[in-house]
C-alpha cells in the first residue's frame, strides 16, 4: 500500500479521535488530533484571562499565537500521541467541560485557524498520517488520499461524551453535555471560515450503531478498495 494522508472529519463526539488512533496503530501511521490543538489554544486563553463569557479578547490573544508552543509527544505508557502546551502535558486538561464549552469560539477565529492549519500541514508533509478534525478534508488536506466523514445522531454522541466524562475528575451532567454538543454543532457548521461540512469526495460512515472496532473494520475495507 502506498503512503497515504487520511483525513477524518465529523461532528463533535462521533469518535473521530478514537478511529484515528486505532487506524494509525493498525497502519503504523502517525496520528494527529487537530481538535486537541484548538483545545490547547482555548486552554491558554482561559488560563490567561482572555475569555469572558462568550467574548474572546482577540487583541490580546492573536499577537501571542506565534509564541504559544503546541506540539505532540508520544507517551509509551498510554500508547498515544499527547498534546503539550508550552512544555506541559495538557492531554487531560483540554478535555474538561470548561475548555469544551469555549473551543468552538476559539476555532472560528480566522487567524487562529490559519496558524494551526499551517502547523498541521507541516506535520503531514511526509504522509503516513491520520489526522482528524472538522476541516481536514476540506481545508487542511483537500488533496488527501482518503477522506472519511463520520456521523451519528446528536443523542448518541451526547451519550458517548457523557460516559467518557464520568470516567474523569471533571464530570458534567447529561443535560450539560447535550447542550454543549448542540451548540458546538451550530457554531462549527455556521462559522464563516472553514465551516464543518462533508467534502464532496469524502466517504460517509455513520457509526451510530457501530463499536469503535466495527468502525475501524469498515474503514480498513474502504482503504483496501482504494485504487492502487
Longest dimension (CA), the chain: 51
CA 126 to chain centre: 20
Whole-number Cα distances in Å, 184 to 11, 56, 150, 188: 8, 16, 16, 6
**Angstrom distance (rounded) from CA 73 to CA 83:** 7
| Rounded Cα gap, residues 101 and 179, in angstroms | 10
What sign results for the dihedral spanned by CA atoms 13, 88, 193, 19? negative
In whole angstroms, give the CA distance from residue 1 to residue 223: 9
Q: What are the binding residues?
A: 10-18
Paired strand residues for 1: none
**Contact criterion met (CB below 8 Å) for 148 and 202:** yes
Extract the annotated binding site for ATP.
Answer: 10-18
Measured from the Cβ of residue 218, the count of other Cβ atoms closer than 10 Å reads 16
Amino acid at each position: 500500500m502506498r503512503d497515504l494522508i487520511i483525513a477524518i472529519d465529523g461532528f463533535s463526539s462521533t469518535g473521530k479521535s478514537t478511529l484515528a488512533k486505532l487506524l494509525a496503530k493498525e497502519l503504523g501511521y502517525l496520528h494527529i488530533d487537530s481538535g486537541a490543538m484548538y483545545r490547547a489554544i482555548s486552554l491558554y486563553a482561559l488560563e490567561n484571562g482572555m475569555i469572558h463569557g462568550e467574548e474572546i479578547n482577540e487583541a490580546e490573544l492573536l499577537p501571542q499565537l506565534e509564541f504559544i508552543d503546541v506540539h505532540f509527544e508520544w507517551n509509551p505508557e498510554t500508547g498515544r500521541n499527547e498534546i503539550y502546551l508550552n512544555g506541559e502535558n495538557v492531554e487531560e486538561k483540554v478535555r474538561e467541560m470548561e475548555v469544551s464549552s469555549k473551543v468552538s469560539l476559539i476555532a472560528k477565529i480566522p487567524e487562529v485557524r490559519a496558524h494551526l492549519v499551517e502547523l498541521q500541514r507541516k506535520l503531514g508533509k511526509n504522509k503516513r498520517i491520520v489526522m482528524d478534525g472538522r476541516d481536514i478534508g476540506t481545508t487542511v488536506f483537500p488533496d488527501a488520499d482518503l477522506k472519511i466523514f463520520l456521523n451519528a445522531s446528536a443523542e448518541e454522541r451526547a451519550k458517548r461524551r457523557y460516559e467518557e466524562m464520568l470516567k474523569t475528575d471533571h464530570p458534567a451532567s447529561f443535560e450539560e453535555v447535550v447542550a454543549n454538543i448542540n451548540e458546538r454543532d451550530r457554531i462549527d457548521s455556521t462559522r464563516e471560515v472553514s465551516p464543518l461540512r462533508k467534502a464532496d469526495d469524502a466517504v460517509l460512515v455513520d457509526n451510530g450503531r457501530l463499536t469503535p472496532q466495527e468502525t475501524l473494520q469498515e474503514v480498513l475495507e474502504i482503504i483496501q478498495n482504494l485504487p492502487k
